[in-house]
A and B are shown apart, each in its own frame.
Chain A
Amino acid sequence: MTADRESGEHRRATHPHVAFDRLIPSDVREIEPIVEEVTRECRELALSARQCALNVPVALTEALSNAILRGNRGIRDKHVRVRAVVSDSALVLEVADEGAGFDLDACTVDPTRPESLEREDGRGLFLMRALMDRVERYEADERNVVRLTLHRS
């Protein structure tokens, strides 16, 4: 076991706890610093290197991008809330926007079909679902929430 891993073990959550909770304006420039912060937390909480380098940053970027550009239609005064809850077994990310919501299954397309391969869009939800163990959408407090669950590997 590496030193990093050992120090990470000390911060492993025994009970689910909120590791991150932030409200950001609807501006795509907000995405990268937030993703970096959440990913740093994940490293300290001993998620695997691959989860910290691929699954978490890409899936969270997709969720934030959807919330800012589609949910809140890029209106800066509308906000997106990002929460990360960590436990011994999993990371749960919640991204809430002020939009009307959407049908997760109906909006997810398969970009790997030959006729879709050269499309510029349509990979966001697909990647989110491929990189997370579970993706759910629901409404809470008049907000549209996308919840991403990733089990520790």
Chain B
Amino acid sequence: MSFSIKKQGEICVVDVEGQLIVGNRQELKQKVLDELEKGEKKFLIDFSQTGYIDSSGLGVLVSLSKKIREQGGELRLANLNDDLKTLFELTKLDTLFQIADTRERALESF
């Protein structure tokens, strides 16, 4: 499991490789908050290489969404597989986040 952040233009793209769960969610949160503190405003989290997300992982995404918004920034999610989409639908978080089918579409949506 790992998280990597790359700049694509003015957008911070975060790749989540593996699971986003209680054991590693703080690492993702801190990495994104560090970038936010440096002044970055646009964030895309790509889940194309993500297996599953638990409730604490969803909670971190909600928390980051709020913090980014408070700083005048924007967050997009991309590449949720069918199982991840189900999780977002069950919790109605699909109504809270802007979710794109592909990374390209997410990048274009900023």
Contact = CB atoms under 8 A, between A and B. Distances in A.
Interface of A: 28-29, 31-32, 50, 53-54, 57-58, 61-62, 65, 69, 111-112, 117-124, 126-127, 130-131
Interface of B: 1, 19, 21-23, 51-56, 58-60, 62-63, 65-66, 82-83, 86-87, 90-93, 95-96
Given A54-B52, A120-B60, A31 B23 contact: yes
Interface residues of B: mostly helix, strand, loop or mixed?
A: helix
A121 B59 contact: yes
Contact of B54 (A53, A61, A120): A61
A122 B59 CA distance: 9
Contacts, number: 79
5 contacts: A54-B87, A61-B21, A65-B54, A65-B56, A119-B62
Which residue, of B21, B60, B93, has the highest number of chain A Cβ atoms within 10 A? B21
